[in-house]
Structure 1
Amino acid sequence: MGYKNRSRKKTKNLFRRVIRRTLAKPEELTVSQWAEKYRVLDESSNISGKWSNDVTPYLVGIMDTMNDDYIREVYLCKGSQLGGTEVMINMLMYIIDKTPAPTMIVYPSDDLAKDVSNDRLKPAFRLSPRIKRGFLENSSKELRLKFRTMALYLRGAGSPSKLASKAIKYLFFDEIDKMAGASQKEASPYNLAMERIKTYKAQSKVYACSTPTVSTNYIWQLHDNADEVRHYFVPCPHCGEMIELQWKQIKYVEDEEKKLSPRDRAMTAKYICQECGCVIQDKDKPKMLRLGEWRAVKKRGIGRPKTVGFWINSLYSFFLTWADIAEEFIKDKKDPELLQNFINSWLAEPWEDTKLKTSAELVMERKTDMPEMIVPAWGKLLTGGVDIQEGSLYYTVRAWGNHVTSQNITHGQVLSFADIERIMNLEWEREDGAKMIVNLALIDSGFQPDNTYDFCITNADWAMPCKGASNPMHNHYHISQINKPGSRVDGIKLVMIDGGKYKDNIAARMQRANGPNTGSWMVSRDCDEDYAQQVTAEHKISIRKGNGKVVQEWQQKKSHGDNHYLDAEVYAMAAADILGVRSLHLEPEQTGRSEKPQQEEQAQNENWVQAEPEWIGG
């Protein structure tokens, strides 16, 4: 009798548990919440034990795209030490537990797929009780992991037939940029795998992560062409402004005499806030990361995005200090292969192969012994260039000698045209005591054309407006006239400039050793790093146009910021060309402003007189 009572009691309790589970409200968790509750990391991880979103808070927004029913594809372009693969594992475990369906991960090779299966996936599944109880490990194979409710397929990109068979709902790519491209006989591994999700198209999810290689490869193209591109912004601990962590803001001690080891130099590294100029310490980073947020920096179309691209570099890594990153760059910068790895794996930027290579370090190598504001003894001409931006003007003054040898005399940023007028009218002292003035300065008219034209009319003895040509020109520059009948500016000269040709010249002359008559492009001993960064903020790379034609174009480096001083130097070189700098070695020495031909001067005076009544009336 007692046995029957116990049996009935067990049966009753069993029914209660079944009914309780059946009627209980399903546990509603996002992927990031699920990971924090159920994911356990083993000893091979940087931090073992329970998963914590506080360590890598920037991964939360990526993981939780899995719970957004509208988003179908997610592409993460990342640096090293950031946890892109961990995002994938968390998504996988969530799928197994919450939304089981056929799933595939594509790796660059079968061997890598097997290694990840044995070393990363199986240990992770065993450590989570929620996953372990449904993991049929004994009946699983290295490339086919079985669970009670689904199967997980692992495939190498080199097996086209295996990528083009069974239907799947969830598709993952790990280190997609290391996959081979399409052959002439087969579609690309990416396209073959994407064919697998057609059956589940309305509910499918695709996630791919990788460090980038070149801009034409998978991850950069996929993330950059998504409906929405998101970057991670963090608050500066000093000014509170939301900023992106950028490599150009890390500063460390320069060591021209090579007395310090790479590590010693790197230990001086600090991050300078681009908004307030304050120093951000390594200890500030964890809190900044926790208070950070993903923001859209590029959007296509209207409405909610179906494809989202995330981009983040290694400066955000919880496990790396400013010194770690600076040391890597110092060690790598002189070896192209090592530098490419730094650009790809640390800065999460594509490597642009270019024959015209310039760098801030190369500019610093062009320093002379001459202090700022002093013209070298070989200087025969002074020209200026002014780039106009909203709220400020960037200028440069450069000395020119025989064989197009040149040296930057000064440069800076000012607030008004009045400041430019004062600087360009200064009397400059040459090394031998002779006095010089700026012969000609070209002023950018692209941003504030009317103000620039008025300024150049007022200062016609030394200033001319200029504008960059939208297409390559036959010549380096072309002097045209402004056609505005009835206006004060009608008939004044406008210099059209092929900026690409002048950037070619600057980059080539930057390679030449210092010295008079060498054709070198030099700077004063007081040259600052901001100037050096800006004049090397662009590089010439191969671009494939819409018609399939590949052309070489100058484009801004993704790791750099402003390029205003480069534009100003282009204008200064064009001004020197107009004054005949290429034949300067054939002419007698000259230190003053060149005299205008009498006929040209008379014509300008007539234009001024004709425009005067309108100017007075305005």
Structure 2
Amino acid sequence: MPDRLPGSQWAEGRLVLNEKDSPEPGPLRLSRTPYLREPLDCFADENVSEITIEAGTQLGKTLFSFACLGYAIDQDPGTCLYVMPDEQTAKKVLKTRIVPLIHSSPDLRRHLAGQRSDISEVRLDFDRMFVFSAWAQSPASLASFPCRYVILDELDKYPRWSGREADPAALAEERTKNYWNRKIIRVSTPTTLGGLIHRYYRHSDRRRYWVPCPRCGAFQVLVWQQVKWDHGERLERIKELGLAWYECEHCQERIEDSHKPGMLERGVWAPAGCTVANDGSLKGEPEGGSHPGFHLSSLYSPWVKFGDAAFTFLDASHDPAKLMNFVNSWLAEVWQEKIDEVDDEGIRALRRPYKLGRVPKEAVVLTAGADVQADRAYYVVRAWGYGETSWLVDYGLLYDDDAERIAELGGSPKSCLDKLPIRKAYPVDGTDEVMPIALWCIDARHRTDEVYLFARKHRDIVRSIMGSPTDLKGGLYYASKVDRNQKTGGALKGSQMIWHIDTVRFKDRINRLRTEQPPVWFLSDDVDADYLQHITAEEKVIERNSRGRARPVYTLRPGHERNDWWDCEVYATCAADMRGVPHLQPQNERPRKVQVKAQSWIPRKKGWVR
């Protein structure tokens, strides 16, 4: 076999678009969509096993999937599974788009064996490979045979699970595990933060397409904030007369629709952590990522004018459903409706001049929370007074010992759990007394068995917890038993308990407490920048599923990567609730029991209970 061609070179020379499926029939020319060249070359690269494309509409992302399939048929054959969201779409795409493309491209058509059975509703037979059409709603179609290639088209329209099986994308990808040279292609318009395509893109090297300004030559990523229009114009005129433009973020000059083809042709893909110099070279260091990932909004589309985007946005601005579609399908961004924004300066203003490691004399109880990770544990200790007033007393980060090094020194290595100050008593300001921690809540999502054993060892003051992914229907938490009879499945007497907590409601409570006036939620002046980064890492947003159903969730804010001490604060607050802190009252303010006497109007009759 002759040397294989680069992906983009093969696509331009061998793929022929038909007039029924393309507004520009004939041999494919990537001069209109030059941003597809690098993704296609990645597909042909034997060192690349995964590609993720998070993109808007009218950009050619489905054409990219078809080109990858064609390249496999002609240049690097292997059984392929092409997955669509549902059965009807899968069969329609195969019949009306893929099959006509194969017939119109001689280099693909020649690989058909010439039998009538070569083409069916769900399978294409070629001389060196098969192409199977599958749909996300059918576990059988996803898991029936091994394959080298998997193409996941419109990934965010897949159901989260397929019948009783796991995530359909994971089911399909499982088919490739026996192939050392496997390739998995994920292509979709994003939906929400919980959508699959955005999750995979975040774990990629997160490339963006930088284009030069035709005026000053400075490279930039096209973003919605730079699209401008005359706000006095009617919607229809903005669209019909093209009265919108793009403003260069460097020189503030106008960039018109007519400039776009030249800008796209000179564009450069740059991974996260890099920028593009005026000569088109990359500057900076890539931030990593497991595989190539590409993000592209419809602002780059050669078929979309800036006026079209402005019209669509203005038409959708007062309709959340339409606005969500604009953000997803045009900007290729995830949809978020913010409920509560974090006031960074307001959090810093809660610092007070007291020392960490000491308990304010107004406190009456200590609780703590710990977040356990693969090789470390974060923890927080908080003191509570009346009216849910609280003070941060201690926080820290503990690592597992290096077992090999400790063994060489003749010692016994300790885990991060062993190092937690479980039974530490903290000195109380202005007294000779010390105060022990009343209750710990420790997250058991990671190293679950270790946390269970540790909680069993310290069951008098430690509870293992897990955040619940669903609403607890009014409850803040509930307990279930861990230890089960292997024969009957029934809970064993004295079984270890796991507490499921509603983390959203406890985060709501902390946000309420730290915004109350006068302040009731305090930090020490001794806290460092890392702690402040963690406790301001999340904001509350509305997440909507594909049917528009909304639910509140907390998500990481841009620029924040860690939220472990924030989680610890949540767990310490949960422990305080379990210890009845919200109901604590000073002795002289506790309500007295009032004995109700029989009133004079009640007649005294024989047989009445007095």
CA distance in 2, matches of 1:121, 1:85: 11
Counterpart residue identity of residue 339, structure 1: L
Give the distance between the partners of 2:193 and 2:556, measured in 1 at CA. Answer: 15
CA distance, structure 1, for counterparts of residue 337 and residue 559 of structure 2: 12
2:193 aligned with 1:212:
no
Partner SS for 2:334: coil
Distance 1:483 1:250 in 2: 44
Q: Distance in 1 between matches of 2:533 and 2:287?
A: 41
2:245 to 257, 270, 273: 270
Q: Do the aligned partners of residues 262 and 476 (structure 1) sit closer, same or farther apart at CA in structure 2, a change above 3 Å counting?
A: farther
Write out per-residue CA displacement over residues 203-258 of structure 1, whole angstroms, 9 at most, x where no aligned residue: 100001010111101101111122x1101001111121110001110011113xxx
Tell me the SS of whatever aligns to 1:307.
coil
CA distance in 1, matches of 2:534, 2:51: 40
Q: Is 2:318 the partner of 1:334?
A: yes
Q: 1:313 aligns with which of 297, 307, 329?
A: 297
Structure 1: 5+ residue stretches without partners? 1-21, 358-384, 387-470, 485-495, 501-537, 544-548, 559-618
Cross-structure match for 2:409 = none
Match of 1:343, as an amino acid? V
Higher helix fraction (1 or 2): 1
Measured in 2, the distance between the counterparts of 1:497 and 1:77 equals 29
Cα deviation, 1:567-616, whole Å, max 9, x if unaligned, reads xxxxxxxxxxxxxxxxxxxxxxxxxxxxxxxxxxxxxxxxxxxxxxxxxx
Structure 1 residues 271 and 208: alpha-carbon distance in aligned structure 2, compared to 1, 3 A threshold: same
| Counterparts of residues 250-265 of structure 1 (less than 5 Å) | 250-255=227-232, 260-264=234-238
The amino acid that maps onto 2:246 is Y
Within a 5 Å distance, the mapping from 1:471-486 to structure 2 comes to 472=511, 474-476=514-516
Counterpart check, 1:69 vs 2:43: no
Work out whether residues 70 and 306 of structure 1, in 8 Å CA contact, stay in contact via their aligned partners in 2: no
Equivalent of 1:88, from 40, 53, 65? 65
Match in the other structure for 1:199: 178
User: 1:541: which partner in 2?
Assistant: 541
SS in 2 for 1:198: coil
> After superposition, what is the alpha-carbon deviation per residue over 1:474-516, rounded to whole angstroms, capped at 9, x for unaligned?
34576999979xxxxxxxxxxx99998xxxxxxxxxxxxxxxx
The CA distance in 2 between the partners of 1:143 and 1:269, in whole Å, is 45
Contact 1:174 1:208 survives alignment (8 Å): yes
**How many angstroms apart in 2 are the aligned matches of 1:497 and 1:54?**
45
What's the offset of the Cα at 1:275? 1.3
- 1:347 matched to 2:326? The reply is no
Q: Distance in 1 between matches of 2:150 and 2:225?
A: 36
Residue 32 of structure 2 is aligned to residue 58 of structure 1: no
Classify the secondary structure of the residue corresponding to 1:197. Answer: coil
Work out the CA distance in 2 between the residues paired with 1:243 and 1:344.
21
Distance in 1 (alpha carbons) for counterparts of 2:58 and 2:17: 15
Question: Separation in 2 of the partners of 1:331 and 1:499?
Answer: 38
SS of 1:318's partner is coil
| C-alpha separation in 2, matches of 1:250 and 1:344 | 17
Which among 152, 156, 160 is matched to residue 181 of structure 1?
A: 160
Aligned counterpart, 2:482: none
The answer to whether the 8 A contact 1:75-1:219 is kept is yes
Letter paired with 1:347: L
Matched, 1:101 2:141: no
Letter of the 2:299 counterpart:
L
Q: Does 1:166 align with 2:161?
A: no
CA contact under 8 A between 2:16 and 2:105: conserved in structure 1?
yes
The verdict on how the C-alpha distance between 1:261 and 1:67 changes in structure 2, with shifts beyond 3 A counting, is closer
Name the counterpart of 1:245.
222
Q: Map 1:505-524; keep pairs closer than 5 Å.
A: none
Residue in 2 aligned with 1:395?
none
For these two proteins, the number of residue pairs brought into alignment is 368
Distance 1:180 1:249 in 2: 35
Superposed, 1:108-147 pairs within 5 Å as 108-136=85-113, 138-139=116-117, 140-147=119-126
Q: Return the offset for 1:265.
A: 6.8
1:86 and 1:133, CA in 2 relative to 1: closer, same or farther beyond 3 A? same
Counterpart AA for 1:541? V
Question: Are the equivalent residues in 2 in contact too, given 1:539–1:556 (CA < 8 A)?
Answer: no
The 8 Å contact of residues 328 and 342 in structure 1, kept in 2 or not, is answered as yes
Superposition deviation, residue 330 in structure 1 = 1.4
Shift of 1:70: 1.9
**Per the alignment, do residues 101 and 552 of structure 1 end up closer, same or farther by CA in structure 2, a change over 3 Å counting?**
closer
1:264 partner letter? I
Q: CA deviation at 1:302?
A: 8.8
Q: In the TM superposition, what is the alpha-carbon distance from 1:347 to its structure 2 partner?
A: 0.4
Whole-angstrom CA distance in 2 between matches of 1:303 and 1:276: 28
Tell me the distance in 1 between the aligned counterparts of 2:189 and 2:60: 11
For normalisation by structure 1, the TM-score amounts to 0.54
Aligned partner of residue 206 in structure 1, secondary structure: strand
Q: In 2 relative to 1, CA 122–475 (structure 1 residues): closer, same or farther, beyond 3 Å?
A: closer
Aligned equivalent of 1:32, options 8, 16, 39: 8
Using the TM superposition, name which of 129-138 and 36-45 deviates more: 129-138
Shift of 1:305: 5.6
The TM-score, its normalising length taken from structure 2, stands at 0.55
1:156 partnered with 2:130: no
Over the matched positions of the two proteins, sequence identity in percent amounts to 33
CA distance in structure 2 between the aligned counterparts of 1:98 and 1:553, rounded to whole angstroms: 43
Q: CA deviation at 1:334?
A: 1.3
- Paired position in structure 2 for 1:420: none
The aligned amino acid for 2:152 is F
Q: Is 2:259 aligned against 1:284?
A: yes
Taking the aligned partners of 1:96 and 1:265, their CA distance within structure 2 comes to: 42
8 A Cα contact 2:156 2:196, kept in partner: yes
Q: Distance in 2 between matches of 1:38 and 1:316?
A: 25
Q: For 1:243 and 1:185, how far apart are their aligned partners in 2? A: 46
| Counterpart Cα distance in 1 of 2:155 and 2:296 | 16
Deviations for 1:139-192, whole angstroms, at most 9, x for unmatched residues? 121110111111000001111022112110011011011111126831010111
* Root mean square deviation, CA, Å: 3.7
